[in-house]
A and B are shown apart, each in its own frame.
Chain A
């Protein structure tokens, strides 16, 4: 038998020894093919360029919208307030029962509902006119321990703050007004629910160490002739008005704002026993809009007694914005798929025309793997060049897109070209090209060479 070494038919071993076709040779071959059908190449590359440019545009819009979304959500509704409504409407009690309550004795018919109530001994002296309130509802008091529990979960709660909101009755003219007491140093939970220095229309805002000073809500100031520098008396305690605020719609607004310590003092003067580490409203800022539901659920566990009323304004907004994000991501993915499908169609058309050539390459000993690599490279060429062109196009065009012009809304920011997005889109285009080349290569090498050579 003739030796395999003489014939070069050691086959498997020899096959391993065969030098692979270099990348340079394959690239040259792919370039020849490109030169041969320039218009097909141009059309294919243009498809990838358009897809990449559109994807960059869409993804940049997505990043932009997330930026805006974050701004919208943080200002409109990633917060809620927690309070526990009082167990009974005082107005339904008889004068005798009110007298009992005011003296610290629980009326008989409250026995069932008030078993665990700890608030009765903090009832105002003037139980008919004065009360702890929130959202026009009389409330119980909450211990500071619930604040501590919430602060242990920064992943859910970005900020929690104690708040006192009490309805006074003026002993001079009998009008009712509300006093809110908060920590002015809290820049997280207080501003969206109560007020902040940004709401000032005149004067100065409270500071944590202030005492004997007040900030007054604009409407109340106008109706009672108060100005910066005026004096206002609360429970017999004089306060100097240092600022006027107009906070707009806030869930825990009051007529007069004091520091928490001052509010605690003046409110305690009208109670049968003073406040101690207590509040009637807890202000909560959620860590992220997407965690709103989880934060509310957790807060219900922490504050077990009574009910919790919440504001979930962020929820619908987050859902709508989330839908927009889904649409953008889907549209970008669809574009990528369409570009790949276009590339695949083009490659398949090329394969039909080049069937014979592939047969020739195989007849002169090109292995299947090299043929597949060759076809992949040819498929990747328009993906790379088209993708690059699309990325460059988007980088050049995007900065000129004025959101204010298109939306009619002063957007303050415009599109920013993010190199990572351009690079990712380019990568997707190349992957799309390769994905289009794979089935083409597979089809090419599973046909017998003689059949490919027979085709015209």
Chain B
């Protein structure tokens, strides 16, 4: 794969955290590429830095060293507002703990992503409702996250990510807290985005993941990525 076809191009990525005066290295020389319309699954045990890698790719944090390029643009050179635009227009992130706004209803959480666009409030609402219905929670539109089950919250988080039709989807344990049937349903929606729109999908997971043909899998261990046979 050439650089020109890469959605993500990461080289020599390093990240460590300070805790109680100690430096804890998490990512140590991570390099990866993800092409347009490709799916990459990163596995690894809990705490190895999968979520940290995902936040760096989403421009939510800065690496200690290395470079991240998304769509050919060096993320490190972007301002905070440009990073926000990147997340708003190109990158959709599904967080492990969903990160739903607690005082916003399910439909409002999904609408929050669309508030910067040119859509009229009614169009915006219709689009959010459509995605929530598609994910099977059309009857819980006005419920707050605390009033939803874990699985329902997961669906809201997925709807919020997909409603904006991002070209890059970063999913952190997208099926981690749901039953196998719901998990399969969620994966179906993510794969549909890849298949139908040519989006790129990067999934991090510590559990079993039903790999489909054409999907690459790598493992994160000791701060570096290694291929999985």
* A interface residues with partner B (beta carbon < 8 Å): 1-2, 4, 6-9, 11-12, 14-15, 18-22, 24-25, 29, 32-33, 35-36, 356-357, 359-370, 445, 448-451, 453
B88 and A18 form a contact (CB under 8 A): yes
B116 and A7 form a contact (CB under 8 A): no
User: Contact partner of B117 among A1, A19, A35, A364, CB < 8 A?
Assistant: A19
A365 and B104 form a contact (CB under 8 A): no
Say if the beta carbon of B84 comes within 8 Å of chain A.
yes
Residues of B within 8 A of A15 (CB): 81-82, 85
A-facing residues in B98-126 (Cβ within 8 Å):
99-104, 108, 112-113, 115-118, 121
Residues of A within 8 A of B31 (CB): none
Q: Which of B3-11, B147-155, B206-214, B215-223 contacts A (4 or more CB under 8 A)?
A: B3-11
B116 and A363 form a contact (CB under 8 A): no
Q: How far is the CA of A6 from the CA of B71 in the complex (A)?
A: 9
Q: How far is the CA of A363 from the CA of B72 in the complex (A)?
A: 21
Q: How far is the CA of A451 from the CA of B18 in the complex (A)?
A: 13
Residues of A within 8 A of B16 (CB): none
A8 and B90 form a contact (CB under 8 A): yes
Residue of A9, A20, A356, A362 most packed against chain B (CB within 10 A): A9
With A9-B71, A11-B82, A365-B88 known as contacts, the answer to whether A357 contacts B101 (CB < 8 A) is: yes
Residue of B103, B108, B118, B121 most packed against chain A (CB within 10 A): B103
B85 and A451 form a contact (CB under 8 A): no
Residues of A within 8 A of B112 (CB): 361, 364, 366
CB-nearest residue of chain B to A7: B71
B4 and A14 form a contact (CB under 8 A): no
A-facing residues in B1-35 (Cβ within 8 Å):
3-7
A11 and B62 form a contact (CB under 8 A): no
A8 and B81 form a contact (CB under 8 A): no
Given contacts A6-B167, A15-B81, 8 further A-B contacts (CB under 8 A): A4-B71, A4-B72, A6-B71, A11-B78, A12-B82, A18-B117, A25-B115, A450-B55
Q: How far is the CA of A11 from the CA of B78 in the complex (A)?
A: 9
A365 and B70 form a contact (CB under 8 A): no
User: Contact partner of B72 among A1, A19, A449, CB < 8 A?
Assistant: A1
Residues of A within 8 A of B167 (CB): 6-8
A365 and B60 form a contact (CB under 8 A): no
With A20-B116, A361-B112 known as contacts, the answer to whether A2 contacts B85 (CB < 8 A) is: no
With A4-B73, A6-B167, A357-B102 known as contacts, the answer to whether A364 contacts B88 (CB < 8 A) is: yes
Shortest Cβ distance from B154 into chain A, in angstroms?
15
Closest 6 CB pairs of A and B: A365-B88, A8-B89, A450-B61, A1-B72, A7-B71, A365-B87
With A2-B72, A448-B61 known as contacts, the answer to whether A453 contacts B99 (CB < 8 A) is: yes
Residues of A within 8 A of B182 (CB): none
With A1-B4, A18-B85, A366-B116 known as contacts, the answer to whether A9 contacts B70 (CB < 8 A) is: yes
Residues of B within 8 A of A364 (CB): 87-88, 93, 112-113, 160
CB-nearest residue of chain B to A11: B82
Residues of A within 8 A of B3 (CB): 1
CB-nearest residue of chain A to B72: A1
* B interface residues with partner A (beta carbon < 8 Å): 3-7, 36, 55, 58, 60-62, 70-73, 78, 80-82, 84-90, 93, 95, 99-104, 108, 112-113, 115-118, 121, 160, 167
Q: How far is the CA of A357 from the CA of B36 in the complex (A)?
A: 31
Shortest Cβ distance from A330 into chain B, in angstroms?
40
Number of A-B contacts (CB under 8 A): 130
B81 and A368 form a contact (CB under 8 A): yes
A363 and B101 form a contact (CB under 8 A): no
A21 and B115 form a contact (CB under 8 A): yes
With A11-B85, A14-B89, A360-B99 known as contacts, the answer to whether A2 contacts B71 (CB < 8 A) is: yes
B85 and A14 form a contact (CB under 8 A): yes
Residues of B within 8 A of A356 (CB): 99
Q: How far is the CA of A449 from the CA of B113 in the complex (A)?
A: 16
CB-nearest residue of chain A to B62: A448
A448 and B60 form a contact (CB under 8 A): yes
Residues of B within 8 A of A25 (CB): 115, 121
Shortest Cβ distance from B83 into chain A, in angstroms?
9
CB-nearest residue of chain A to B55: A450
Residues of B within 8 A of A2 (CB): 4-7, 36, 71-72
Residues of A within 8 A of B5 (CB): 2
CB-nearest residue of chain B to A18: B116
Residues of B within 8 A of A7 (CB): 70-71, 73, 89-90, 167
Q: How far is the CA of A4 from the CA of B81 in the complex (A)?
A: 16
Shortest Cβ distance from A415 into chain B, in angstroms?
43
CB-nearest residue of chain B to A371: B84
Shortest Cβ distance from A303 into chain B, in angstroms?
72
Q: How far is the CA of A445 from the CA of B81 in the complex (A)?
A: 10
Shortest Cβ distance from B132 into chain A, in angstroms?
16
Residues of A within 8 A of B87 (CB): 362-365
Q: How far is the CA of A370 from the CA of B87 in the complex (A)?
A: 15
Q: How far is the CA of A24 from the CA of B121 in the complex (A)?
A: 10
Residue of B62, B95, B102 most packed against chain A (CB within 10 A): B102
Q: How far is the CA of A357 from the CA of B100 in the complex (A)?
A: 8
Shortest Cβ distance from A17 into chain B, in angstroms?
9
CB-nearest residue of chain B to A17: B118
Sample (12) of A-B pairs whose CB atoms are under 8 Å apart? A2-B72, A8-B90, A9-B90, A19-B118, A22-B121, A32-B104, A356-B99, A359-B60, A362-B84, A364-B87, A364-B113, A365-B116
Q: How far is the CA of A2 from the CA of B39 in the complex (A)?
A: 17
A11 and B60 form a contact (CB under 8 A): no
Shortest Cβ distance from B50 into chain A, in angstroms?
14
